[in-house]
Amino acid sequence: MFDRIAPRYDLLNRVLSLGRDASWRRRAVAAAGLGPGERALDVGAGTGDLALALAKAGPSGRVVALDLAPEMLGRARTRADASLRFVVGSAEALPFPDALFSCVVAGFAVRNFGDLPRALGDMRRVLVPGGRVVVLELSLPPNATLRAMHRFYLHRVAPAIATVLGSSAEAYRYLPASIEAFLDPERVAAALREAGFQRVRYERLTFGVATIHVGEA
């Protein structure tokens, strides 16, 4: 599915989030705190927005972008400079040795993983002790009125906008379904702790339509 929507993915992100996704990514980059010479991994990197922002934030850092969908990564490749490396692979079986990265980020990706506990465990395995994990994910606002409004937007408006902008209505019906089916932020935090991360905390962004989780290996 992600291979199919790759050509219109960035445009739909900007439009459907009303441009908020860029500021959510900036928060993720700040939380990752990539230092000079450190290595970072972006899991489910897609078209590379987060990986590119990370690479720009830490000029001497080295960033690896991993994704299951070659078409998504292909678009990232066209936008990248030499500081980025690309790997087609699975979050559940990261093709890296233990303790290679100082931070691991995942932007809007973890709700799509087939085996979340396994993927989070592998993300911890490739981190150095004390390394940072940053998980940015879509969520539903805790306020009941806002949640109802947001659900209407996700279920009714988003697929229609996707069709008008030349993407797949089916994929943008999957979007709300995947958000509804996913864990709420408290449970994501619990999953991170179960995977062995410490000092896990999260912050709701833009009334709770997105959430950023941070932890340490």
Ligand X SMILES: C[S@@+](CC[C@H](N)C(=O)[O-])C[C@H]1O[C@@H](n2cnc3c(N)ncnc32)[C@H](O)[C@@H]1O
Q: Give the residue with the Cβ less far from ligand X, 109 or 154.
A: 109
Q: Give the residue with the Cβ less far from ligand X, 38 or 137.
A: 137
Compute the least distance from the CB of residue 37 to ligand X, in Å: 24
* Contact assessment for residue 195 and residue 124, using Cβ atoms and an 8 Å cutoff: yes
Q: Give the residue with the Cβ less far from ligand X, 130 or 166.
A: 166
C-alpha pair distances (Å), 89 with each of 34, 44, 93, 124, 182: 23, 9, 8, 17, 22
Compute the least distance from the CB of residue 48 to ligand X, in Å: 7
* Contact assessment for residue 135 and residue 192, using Cβ atoms and an 8 Å cutoff: yes
Compute the least distance from the CB of residue 3 to ligand X, in Å: 8
Q: Give the residue with the Cβ less far from ligand X, 95 or 142.
A: 95
Q: Closest residue to ligand X, Cβ-based?
A: 46
C-alpha pair distances (Å), 145 with each of 136, 140, 142, 152, 163: 23, 11, 9, 11, 27
Question: Which residues are CB-neighbours of 61 under 8 A, at least 6 positions away?
Answer: 34, 35, 36, 37, 38, 39, 40, 54, 55, 83
CB count within 10 Å of CB 161 equals: 15
Compute the least distance from the CB of residue 144 to ligand X, in Å: 26
Closest CA to 42 of 116, 108, 99: 108
Rounded to an integer, what distance in angstroms lies between the CA atom of residue 107 and that of residue 99?
A: 21
Q: Give the residue with the Cβ less far from ligand X, 34 or 50.
A: 50
Which positions touch ligand X (CB under 6 A)? 2, 13, 44-46, 49-50, 67-69, 72, 90-92, 107-109, 112-114
Q: Give the residue with the Cβ less far from ligand X, 130 or 133.
A: 133
Compute the least distance from the CB of residue 45 to ligand X, in Å: 5
Compute the least distance from the CB of residue 91 to ligand X, in Å: 4
